[in-house]
């Protein structure tokens, strides 16, 4: 069974999940695992990816059986720790076996489904600039939320009825829950700090956005204001339209945050407005590279002193010409001999 197309789909899904992840004030290390299993033929495929912030940094699948770095600075870690990739390979292989074994041992899951079963896991830890820490571990089944871990209470939360069986089993294994909590709060954070150190030239790079606001006429009597931000890094950015200072989401359309060839990003948002209101709208852009948000809008035409001077000179020239013509007419009229003499 050829399941490699799932690898590409999984990478896209992981990227979409990252859209709503932590802002630029947090750094994150995330692992995404997916098992696709055909219970009838007992054939499976597994893929795992690692993200540092929003950057795909490592990849593993059940075909190549080897963790492969996707960023150059991971090689520096190998120079310091020659077994770095070996450990990640072993962890991925272990999780591959564990996930398939779990699916096989849960007939209440695959007895209710037909065709392929998709079992997913996302595990992550996050570290803020202020030293705050967060950790997450959650599972999905066939594209839906399944279980999530609460590391404060060492319990699992079931998102669907079939997950209740698993919740009871995992809640009872307190030792495993404590081990998971320790990993999220300590070991994962240590790994994150290490990769931040080796990849800091890129991961800590800050480039402010260049923001422009333009307008386009429409065919329905309305106009469209477009706010563009480009050339910024990191990816997280907060851009909103404001009307008279208040956030205004009505009639607002947003483009995605898209990478440029130089490693920076660009995005846009537009809004439909009545032409008479166009000077009431401003685009507010916040980014980790900026000391304070940018606030831009269409500017009213400035008073032109040059135009005034040119206008006055034109009037003076016209008046002077009229006066000169009047004087010439008067002189010629006075010099004409009286008629009848």
Between β-strands 144-150 and 133-141, what pairing exists: parallel, antiparallel or unpaired? antiparallel
Q: How far apart are CA 106 and CA 217, in angstroms?
A: 59
pLDDT band at 131 (very low <50, low <70, confident <90, very high): confident
CB 65 within 8 A of CB 47: no
pLDDT at 88: 86
Residue-wise pLDDT tens digits, 51-62:
998 788 899 999
Q: Across the chain, what does the average pLDDT equal?
A: 82
Mean per-residue pLDDT for 205-213?
94
Architecture of domain 5-203: 2-Layer Sandwich (3.30)
pLDDT at 110: 63
pLDDT at 219: 76
303 against 214, higher pLDDT: 214
Residue-wise pLDDT tens digits, 80-116:
888 888 888 998 999 999 988 888 877 767 665 567 8
Residue-wise pLDDT tens digits, 263-288:
899 999 999 989 888 899 999 999 98
**Domain 210-297 carries which CATH code?**
2.60.40.10
Mean per-residue pLDDT for 221-242?
92
pLDDT band at 314 (very low <50, low <70, confident <90, very high): low
Q: Give the least confident one: 74-78, 167-171, 242-246, 265-269.
A: 74-78
pLDDT at 11: 43
Mean per-residue pLDDT for 153-166?
92
Decide whether 5-203 matches 210-297 in CATH topology.
Answer: no
CA 307 to chain centre: 46
| Residue-range domain boundaries for the chain | 5-203, 210-297
79 against 29, higher pLDDT: 29
pLDDT at 341: 37
Give yes or no for residue 13 having a pLDDT over 60.
no
């Amino acid at each position: 069974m050829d399941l490699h197309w799932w690898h590409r789909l999984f990478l896209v899904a992981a990227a979409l999940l990252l859209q709503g992840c932590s802002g630029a004030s947090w750094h994150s290390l995330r692992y995404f695992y997916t098992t696709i299993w055909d219970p009838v033929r007992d054939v499976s495929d597994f893929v795992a990816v690692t993200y540092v912030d929003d950057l795909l940094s490592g990849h593993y699948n059940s075909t190549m059986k080897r963790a492969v770095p996707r960023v150059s600075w991971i090689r520096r870690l190998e120079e310091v720790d020659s077994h770095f990739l070996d450990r990640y390979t072993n962890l991925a292989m272990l999780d591959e076996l564990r996930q398939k074994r779990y699916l096989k041992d849960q007939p209440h899951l695959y007895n209710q489904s037909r065709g392929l079963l998709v079992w997913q896991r996302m595990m992550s830890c996050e570290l803020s600039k202020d030293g705050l820490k967060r950790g997450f571990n959650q599972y999905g089944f066939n594209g839906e939320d399944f279980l999530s871990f609460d590391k404060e209470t060492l319990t699992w939360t079931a998102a669907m009825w079939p997950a209740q069986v698993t919740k009871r089993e995992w809640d009872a294994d307190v030792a495993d829950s404590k081990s998971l909590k320790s990993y999220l709060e300590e070991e994962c954070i240590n790994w994150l700090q290490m990769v931040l150190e080796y990849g800091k030239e890129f991961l800590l790079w800050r480039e402010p956005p260049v923001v422009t606001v333009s307008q386009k006429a429409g065919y329905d009597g309305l106009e469209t204001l477009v706010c563009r931000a480009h050339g910024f890094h990191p990816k997280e950015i907060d851009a909103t339209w404001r009307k008279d200072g208040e956030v205004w989401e009505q009639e607002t359309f947003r483009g995605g945050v898209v990478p440029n060839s130089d490693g920076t990003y660009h995005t846009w948002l537009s809004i439909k407005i009545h032409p008479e209101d166009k000077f009431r709208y401003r685009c507010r852009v916040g980014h980790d590279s900026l000391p304070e948000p940018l606030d831009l809008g269409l500017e009213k035409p400035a008073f032109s002193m040059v135009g005034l001077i040119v206008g006055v000179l034109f009037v003076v020239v016209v008046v002077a010409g009229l006066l000169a013509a009047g004087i010439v007419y008067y002189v010629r009229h006075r010099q004409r001999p009286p008629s009848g003499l």
